[in-house]
């Protein structure tokens, strides 16, 4: 531990970390990046694809044109929103596996509001209301898992997984039941919303700036909360030592619920962005696995608000870029899945490595 | 290099330096540890004792200096290498696997082959226990053991791993006087067999009873060495630079009843608590005496609202507290200081300033400047060796304890302190009690547990003796003495 000169740095995740800690931070990041690339290269070689060409196509497929960049940003927005929410739950030591379900609930609440808005004279009002409604939907769904955890002592991983299934069930029921398109119930989802109930598109880039603004606000707000708010401090304290936190006069359970509410809220908003800004309807795969991917993003970012957007961007680039990889290189399309699986392993290895390094020395 | 049991090992530390950034924890320490001797390392809180031992045990790298084993220079990086060299360290907080049984813990790291040879290991376990007169239940999960028993387990584990040098960092804090006796006998036996024993402590009494020679550390340097027979005055001067003046107990009359426990029972610890009826009055200093885990911990946690009684009633200032949680107790001025500093009291990963921020504001925004200033002020007032930006886990044990004490509010109604001076040196202990005595002017009642009879007799007005989950004695300090109290603690009330 190195003391930062005469005035000790702000006691915050970032500033109070000594130089060596930050160096280690970047080392961990660099190492996992190298691991990801190494693994991917190995898999590509094994599959008989020329790696350099593959990377070229990955890059071209993600950032090669305005259109593609738009697609990357479109995927980055919900991923970042979900990841930001997860920062709160991870901070207090909760494994919020239920992000998928929370996102779905947000999408459902948003759809409900937007359906009311069809043929209304003030569609903008309904569009605006869809966002808080979605946050509420996602938040309530997350609180469900939180209450099961704090009151029923059900581990949040099981509660979250269970609620994911239930949310998926409700989603399918609505799409094939009450909200089905007149005459046809199909996997393609509900009736498409009229243009005035959609988030506007930036011509050329094909993505909605409103979503981008929301994601950036979420990031900044969270950074501020963790650095300056008592709430952020208590989350960190309760995550590290709930009993001591109680003795300091704060109820950890209450903060667990609040953290879940926020995480669910952000996931819900992500769901709303998907409904109103991307698909313009409710579809069965509305959550697109962003919930699970967000867990990875956050862990790979080492729970750091400032690293999350970068890692999320990296992931979306690889994701979007790998869509046309099988076609271009004539390899099996399941390869993208294999590559992502490898990332998971690398991520976990990097985390384990990092944990071992930063574990504080035992004190006497 | 595998060490064979019975080998005699001499360890030499030459000009050891250890720096944590600008902080110099060890500055040029040279000590020679000879086989067959019990060598004491004595020093006040933050003197650098643990740091030196962690360097020797390979737990932290040294900044510079030389370690010589049997005359040859040795460099090592990890505790595993050190363990292969035949050096074993007993950390103060146990490093074991709580859910595994005693025997399973013992087996870890022992087996050479793939198959666990349970029978042979059990034999070795039993013979070691017998040899050192430890009585450890092999099938009990380790989490059910007391600190003293965990320590015994760790000692025989280290021995069977082939440790010829055994380092014990403050082994006598938090264990009962009976366990201390067993431990001392065992250490003497081991020394006789030619093992090199290093005992770290700030308790003069332990050092004087057990050690053959002692090195005194102060501010990271060796301030003196001495062989038996020891001279207490000289040792105190080496430790503190001067001889601390004794405490002047202030006798005040007790006030109105504050805490009433009526026939309260609860589970927890070993024995739980059964049918406890006690009244604590304002301005009283009440000591909870007894063997470790006899119900004192449960009593304190009940009084703090951290535990719910299975039967009986608790009243605070006349008000029934059934169904209220810890925060409600806190709102009535009850403050609890647990003994396990890093498990219950402090929050690892948070700095000193962050702790004060947590304690202080209740607004939405944290006032970091205020928190930092307060941290700085308390650091000076409580003479904590540390800076506001340091994470609490990097403070020395004694300084963590001081930090905990510095969180006490200005005018609590009831202070519940679990072994408040555990890990503190004599000077700090006196200083802490002087500080605590000031609370009586504010009508605060102080209830504390302690395993040190001397401390209890020195500071308490009244003593509750716990035995096997019950209060078997409730007596004024003036009406008892060490002998009487010792008998009561052993259950002979
Ligand atoms: N990991 C660390 N980072 C920074 N400073 C440290 C670290 N570990 C110890 N120190 C500092 O080194 C000094 C010596 O600490 P050490 O733990 O060796 O003291 P000690 O003699 O064992 O005291 P005690 O009797 O209180 O346990 C203290 O001032 C402590 O704050
Ligand atoms: Mg120490």
* Chain-chain contact of A11 with B351 (C-beta, under 8 angstroms): yes
Q: Which pLDDT tens digit goes with each residue over A164-220?
A: 999 999 999 999 989 988 877 777 888 899 988 898 887 777 788 899 999 999 999
* Chain-chain contact of B338 with A243 (C-beta, under 8 angstroms): yes
Neighbours of B410 (CB within 10 A): 7
How far apart CA B304 and CA B337 sit, in angstroms, is 9
A312 or A351, higher pLDDT: A312
pLDDT reported for residue A12 = 35
The finding on whether B25 has its CB within 6 A of some atom of ligand 1 is yes
Q: Which pLDDT tens digit goes with each residue over B244-262?
A: 777 666 667 778 899 999 9
The finding on whether B220 has its CB within 6 A of some atom of ligand 1 is no
Rounded to 5 degrees, φ, ψ at A77 are: -60, -60
How far apart CA B92 and CA B483 sit, in angstroms, is 29
Answer whether residue A349 shows pLDDT above 50.
Answer: yes
Range picked from A158-167, A190-199, A347-356 for highest mean pLDDT: A158-167
pLDDT reported for residue B452 = 82
Residue closest via CA to ligand 1's atom 31 equals B395
CA distance, residue A240 to nearest chain B CA (Å): 6
For ligand 2, the distance from its centroid to the CA atom of residue B42, given in whole angstroms, is: 10
CB-facing half-sphere around the CA of B478: CA atoms within 13 A: 3
Residue B448 pLDDT level (bands cut at 50, 70, 90) = very high
pLDDT reported for residue B116 = 60
Residue A9 pLDDT level (bands cut at 50, 70, 90) = very low
Of the listed ranges A259-263, B97-101, B391-395, the least confidently predicted one is B97-101
The mean per-residue pLDDT over the stretch B145-168 comes to 88
Answer whether residue A95 shows pLDDT above 70.
Answer: yes
* Chain-chain contact of B366 with A9 (C-beta, under 8 angstroms): no
Residue B124 pLDDT level (bands cut at 50, 70, 90) = confident
pLDDT reported for residue B111 = 58
Parallel, antiparallel, or unpaired for β B72-73 and B64-69?
A: antiparallel
How far apart CA B92 and CA B175 sit, in angstroms, is 11
Answer whether residue B353 shows pLDDT above 90.
Answer: yes
- CA B157-B159-B160 angle, to 5 degrees, is 65
Of the listed ranges A346-355, B75-84, B223-232, B458-467, the least confidently predicted one is A346-355
Q: Which pLDDT tens digit goes with each residue over B259-302?
A: 999 999 999 877 889 999 999 999 899 999 988 788 999 999 99
Whether B286 and B462 have beta carbons less than 8 Å apart is answered as yes
Answer whether residue B354 shows pLDDT above 70.
Answer: yes
Of the listed ranges A17-31, B241-255, B270-284, B456-470, the least confidently predicted one is A17-31
Does residue A200 have a cis peptide bond before it, meaning omega lies within 30 degrees of 0?
A: no
pLDDT reported for residue A321 = 83
Answer whether residue A358 shows pLDDT above 80.
Answer: no
Answer whether residue B361 shows pLDDT above 70.
Answer: no
Which candidate, B92, B284, B84, B290, places its Cα nearest to that of B202? B92
| Tokens representing residue B184 in the block | 């001392």
Residue A161 pLDDT level (bands cut at 50, 70, 90) = very high
The finding on whether A1 has its CB within 6 A of some atom of ligand 1 is yes
Residue A105 pLDDT level (bands cut at 50, 70, 90) = very high
How far apart CA B241 and CA B235 sit, in angstroms, is 9
Of the listed ranges A133-142, A247-256, B390-399, the least confidently predicted one is B390-399
What's the whole-number average pLDDT of chain B?
87
Residue closest via CA to ligand 1's atom 29 equals B46
Question: Which DSSP string corresponds to B383-426?
Answer: T-SS-TTSBGGGS-HHHHHHHHHHT--SS-SEEEEESTTTT--H
pLDDT reported for residue B167 = 94
Answer whether residue B37 shows pLDDT above 60.
Answer: yes
How far apart CA B295 and CA B299 sit, in angstroms, is 6
Nearest to B50 among A2, A229, A364 (CB): A364
B291 or B476, higher pLDDT: B476
Parallel, antiparallel, or unpaired for β B311-316 and B285-290?
A: unpaired
Q: SS3 for A150-209, per residue?
A: HCCCCCHHHHHHHHHHHHHHHHHHHHHCCCCCCCCCCCCCCCCCCHHHCCCCCCCCCCCH
pLDDT reported for residue A10 = 30
Which candidate, B455, B370, B414, places its Cα nearest to that of B259? B414
* Chain-chain contact of A230 with B365 (C-beta, under 8 angstroms): yes
Q: Which pLDDT tens digit goes with each residue over B51-80?
A: 999 999 988 889 999 999 988 888 887 778
Answer whether residue B137 shows pLDDT above 80.
Answer: yes
pLDDT reported for residue B329 = 93
B306 or A347, higher pLDDT: B306
- CA A8-A9-A12 angle, to 5 degrees, is 130
């Amino acid at each position: 531990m190195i003391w930062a000169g005469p005035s000790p740095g702000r006691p915050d995740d970032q500033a109070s970390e000594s130089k060596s800690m930050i160096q280690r931070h970047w080392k961990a990041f660099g190492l996992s990046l190298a691991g990801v690339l190494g693994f991917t290269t190995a898999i590509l070689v094994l599959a008989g694809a020329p790696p350099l060409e593959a990377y070229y196509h990955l890059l071209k497929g993600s950032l090669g044109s305005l259109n593609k960049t738009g697609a990357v940003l479109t995927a980055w927005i919900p991923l970042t929103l979900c990841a930001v929410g997860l920062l709160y739950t991870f901070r207090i030591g909760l494994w919020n596996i239920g992000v998928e379900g929370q996102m779905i609930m947000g999408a459902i609440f948003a759809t409900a509001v937007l359906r009311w808005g069809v043929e209304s004279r003030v569609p903008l009002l309904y569009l605006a209301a869809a966002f808080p409604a979605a946050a509420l939907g996602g938040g309530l769904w997350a609180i469900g898992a939180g209450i099961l955890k704090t009151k029923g002592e059900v581990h949040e991983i099981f509660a979250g997984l269970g609620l994911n299934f239930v949310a998926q069930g409700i989603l399918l029921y609505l799409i094939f039941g009450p909200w089905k398109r007149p005459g046809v119930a199909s996997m393609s989802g509900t009736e498409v919303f009229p243009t005035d109930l959609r988030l506007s598109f930036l011509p050329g880039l094909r993505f909605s700036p409103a979503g981008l603004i929301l994601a950036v606000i979420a990031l900044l707000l969270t950074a501020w909360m963790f650095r300056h708010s008592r709430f952020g401090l208590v989350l960190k304290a309760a995550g590290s030592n709930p009993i001591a936190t109680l003795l300091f006069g704060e109820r950890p359970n209450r903060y667990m619920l609040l953290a879940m509410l926020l995480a669910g809220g952000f996931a819900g908003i992500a769901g709303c962005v998907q409904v109103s800004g991307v698909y313009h309807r409710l579809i069965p795969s509305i959550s697109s696995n962003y919930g699970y991917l967000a867990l990875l993003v956050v862990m790979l970012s080492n729970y750091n608000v400032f690293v999350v957007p970068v890692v999320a961007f990296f992931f979306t680039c690889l994701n979007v870029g790998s869509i046309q990889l099988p076609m271009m290189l004539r390899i099996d399309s399941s390869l993208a899945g294999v590559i992502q699986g490898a990332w998971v392993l690398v991520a976990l290895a990097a985390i384990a490595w990092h944990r071992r390094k930063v574990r504080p020395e035992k004190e006497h | 290099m595998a060490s064979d049991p019975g080998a005699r090992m001499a360890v030499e530390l030459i000009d050891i330096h250890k720096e944590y950034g600008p902080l110099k924890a060890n500055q040029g320490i040279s000590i020679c540890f000879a086989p067959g001797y019990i060598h004491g390392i004595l020093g006040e809180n933050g003197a650098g004792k643990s740091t030196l031992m962690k360097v020797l045990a390979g737990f932290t790298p040294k900044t510079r200096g030389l370690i010589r084993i049997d005359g040859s220079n040795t460099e090592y990086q990890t505790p595993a290498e050190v363990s292969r060299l035949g050096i074993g360290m007993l950390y103060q907080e146990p490093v074991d696997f709580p859910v595994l049984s005693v025997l399973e813990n013992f087996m870890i790291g022992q087996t050479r082959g793939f198959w666990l040879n349970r029978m042979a290991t059990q034999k070795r376990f039993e013979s070691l226990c017998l040899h050192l007169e430890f009585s450890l239940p092999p099938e009990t999960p380790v989490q059910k053991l007391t600190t003293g028993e965990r320590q015994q387990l760790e000692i025989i584990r280290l021995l069977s791993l082939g440790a010829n040098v055994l380092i014990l960092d403050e082994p006598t804090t938090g264990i009962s006087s009976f366990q201390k006796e067993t431990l001392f006998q065992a250490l003497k036996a081991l020394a006789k067999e030619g093992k090199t024993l290093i005992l770290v402590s700030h308790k003069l009494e332990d050092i004087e009873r057990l050690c053959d020679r002692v090195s005194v550390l102060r501010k990271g340097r060796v301030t003196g060495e001495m062989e038996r027979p020891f001279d207490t005055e000289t040792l105190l001067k080496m430790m503190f630079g001067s001889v601390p003046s004794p405490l002047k107990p202030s006798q005040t009359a007790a006030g109105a009843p504050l805490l009433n426990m009526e026939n309260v029972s609860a589970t927890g610890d070993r024995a739980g608590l059964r049918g406890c009826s006690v009244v604590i009055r304002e301005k009283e200093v009440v000591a909870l005496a007894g063997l470790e885990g006899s119900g004192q911990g449960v009593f304190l946690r009940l009084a703090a609202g951290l535990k719910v009684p299975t039967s009986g009633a608790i009243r605070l200032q006349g008000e029934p507290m059934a169904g209220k949680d810890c925060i409600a107790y806190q709102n009535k001025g009850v403050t609890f200081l647990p003994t396990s500093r890093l498990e219950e009291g402090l929050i690892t990963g948070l700095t000193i300033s962050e702790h004060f921020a947590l304690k202080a504001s209740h607004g939405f925004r944290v006032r970091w400047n205020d928190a930092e200033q307060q941290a700085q002020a308390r650091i000076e007032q409580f003479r904590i060796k540390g800076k506001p930006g340091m994470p609490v886990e990097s403070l020395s044990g004694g300084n963590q304890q001081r930090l905990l004490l510095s969180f006490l509010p200005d005018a609590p109604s009831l202070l519940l302190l679990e072994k408040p001076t555990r890990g503190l040196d004599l000077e700090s202990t006196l200083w802490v009690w002087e500080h605590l005595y000031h609370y009586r002017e504010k009508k605060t009642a102080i209830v504390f547990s302690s395993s040190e009879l001397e401390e209890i007799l020195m500071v308490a007005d009244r003593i509750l003796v716990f035995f096997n989950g019950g209060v078997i004695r409730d007596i004024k300090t003036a009406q008892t003495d060490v002998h009487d109290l010792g008998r009561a603690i052993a259950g002979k009330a």
